[in-house]
Chain A
């Protein structure tokens, strides 16, 4: 290894390098449900500018995305579809539950709304607010980047089967 120090060479662990690259180019699925989707749009738009964090490439197809921002309330009718979209996303993938409804059901404690999207898909980051401010979502993206750089999701939690989801 003699003479390497004065050449433009960088040593890194492959894992760390991959994590760094992943955290810097998150591709969220363009997936809005309710009010929070409007704030998500605002986050991506000119004033807050999600692209500063490398996460502005909203993909219309879940097959091209690696972050799912569940922006809004998930109804019983929508829950199986949310799960299907999640299953279609390639690994590695992360989920941000944006807002009170996606996190815990919010103000809608009733027959129609799933009380938190974590009953359907595993959630990495919860964002409080109804709806969260764009700053809140940006903070969540930054937290997620930190999480990815620190080794991503340690282990996927036990998840309900698609049949159980359909019954939920």
Chain B
């Protein structure tokens, strides 16, 4: 990997020419947001490449310090907006760890269910947009169709399509609504057919295979050096999956495989994600089949607020409700790191509490930030068009990179 500033000045001894600098973004159709990439080119070959981030810096980590523990969930939604629910997941697990509570089994299962649904939704958007980057327009219209079904399910239970903030500290916004199970089962039954359609659109397409195979490869060692996690690392042959290695929220109850590929190129990443969708489907089916009855939030009113009917009847409930919504949950002083397996990799939260109702510090480990760091290595000495393929395969979300 060459440094771009020194590369720009180097004169080719044969031609007497300096490399040409090309600027991609921040407004570019293939950057998946507002990423800017500077590339130094020798002809069409990349001599050096530098991703420039920060065009979507939102100050989310700082803003969290102003909000109560429950309010900060809304900001975690808006980081990786392709899969907001897994972002909620890591955060609420962290706060619950600090509080020393565990949510009931039913809640854990519902959380797993929604996390896997949003993993599928995120992979679907990736598939559509990455294929569009490669020039295949039709998969986008197919994948968005299925994504809408998942968003409908989320809307049904959380009340909003995107950014639902469905997971709350100590429970969920509400239990599964009536009619949810039938709708979910209809989706589960229909989706394998659509997965086959995606394969039919892409996987036997010689252009797609030629374009992706061997493009932007990376070795497993290098990937680990960059801190890669998630499907990208698994595409290099390392079966690291927090759901298996470090099970949270009852993931140990579910039977699923960790998908790995060996090549570490764009094609391997594509296959890992495609096969992961199938595994996620398996988990959702198990979760709905074995969904335990019972409570879906922690007992008592100290963490999870009493319901509205109770407030009308019970003075104490009213007081707790008022306290929870004005001061927030009192979280014991301490610090915690909690991570979950998001669609893009390990999404981790380091939360420090000083004993008040607001977090003292929330530090986010966004997987996309680490993944995009490897872009110069991926495209070194490759063609310019491979930058687009590489960015597409990394599946970055700039909201999470810049935060």
A residues 14-66 near B (Cβ < 8 Å) are 30-35, 37-39, 41-42, 45-47, 60, 62
Q: Which residues of B contact A112 (CB under 8 A)?
A: 57-59
Q: How far is the CB of A76 from chain B (nearest CB, A)?
A: 8
- Mask, B25-68, CB within 8 Å of A = 1, is 01111000110000000000000000000111111101100000
Q: Main SS of the interface on chain A?
A: loop
Q: How far is the CB of B370 from chain A (nearest CB, A)?
A: 20
- Name the CB-closest residue of B to A48: B148
Q: Which residues of A contact B141 (CB under 8 A)?
A: 45-46
A41 to B362, CA, bound (A): 31
Contact status A38-B29, CB under 8 Å: no
- Mask, A92-133, CB within 8 Å of B = 1, is 000000000000000110111100000000000000001101
A78: interface (CB < 8 Å): yes
Contact status B81-A111, CB under 8 Å: no
Contact status B29-A30, CB under 8 Å: yes
CB within 8 Å for A113 and B55 given contacts A45-B145, A78-B34: no
Contact status A42-B148, CB under 8 Å: yes
- Name the CB-closest residue of A to B53: A77
Option from B57, B82, B145, B402 in Cβ contact (under 8 Å) with A38: B82
CB within 8 Å for A78 and B144 given contacts A32-B33, A108-B63: no
Q: Which residues of B contact A78 (CB under 8 A)?
A: 26, 34, 55-56
Q: How far is the CB of B231 from chain A (nearest CB, A)?
A: 19
A31 to B25, CA, bound (A): 11
Number of interface residues of B (CB under 8 A): 37
Q: How far is the CB of B209 from chain A (nearest CB, A)?
A: 25
B161: interface (CB < 8 Å): yes
Q: Which residues of B contact A130 (CB under 8 A)?
A: 163
A145: interface (CB < 8 Å): no
Among A38, A39, A47, A112, chain B packs the most CB atoms within 10 A around the CB of: A38
Option from B29, B33, B75 in Cβ contact (under 8 Å) with A33: B33
A81: interface (CB < 8 Å): yes
- Mask, A65-78, CB within 8 Å of B = 1, is 00000001101111
- Name the CB-closest residue of A to B66: A110
- Name the CB-closest residue of B to A47: B148
A76 to B63, CA, bound (A): 16
Contact status B26-A46, CB under 8 Å: no
B321: interface (CB < 8 Å): no
CB within 8 Å for A46 and B27 given contacts A34-B33, A75-B56, A77-B55: no
CB within 8 Å for A131 and B162 given contacts A33-B33, A78-B26, A81-B26: yes
Q: Which residues of B contact A39 (CB under 8 A)?
A: 161-162
A110 to B147, CA, bound (A): 32
B230: interface (CB < 8 Å): no
Option from A38, A46, A73, A111 in Cβ contact (under 8 Å) with B125: A38
A60 to B132, CA, bound (A): 13
Q: How far is the CB of A50 from chain B (nearest CB, A)?
A: 12
B residues 14-33 near A (Cβ < 8 Å) are 26-29, 33
A-B contact pairs, 14 of them (CB 8 A): A31-B27, A33-B33, A33-B56, A34-B78, A41-B125, A42-B148, A45-B141, A72-B56, A73-B56, A75-B58, A81-B26, A85-B27, A107-B74, A131-B163
Q: Closest 3 CB pairs between A and B?
A: A45-B144, A112-B59, A35-B81
Starting from the known contacts A112-B57, A112-B59, A113-B58, 4 additional A-B residue pairs (CB-CB under 8 Å) come to A39-B162, A42-B151, A75-B56, A107-B75
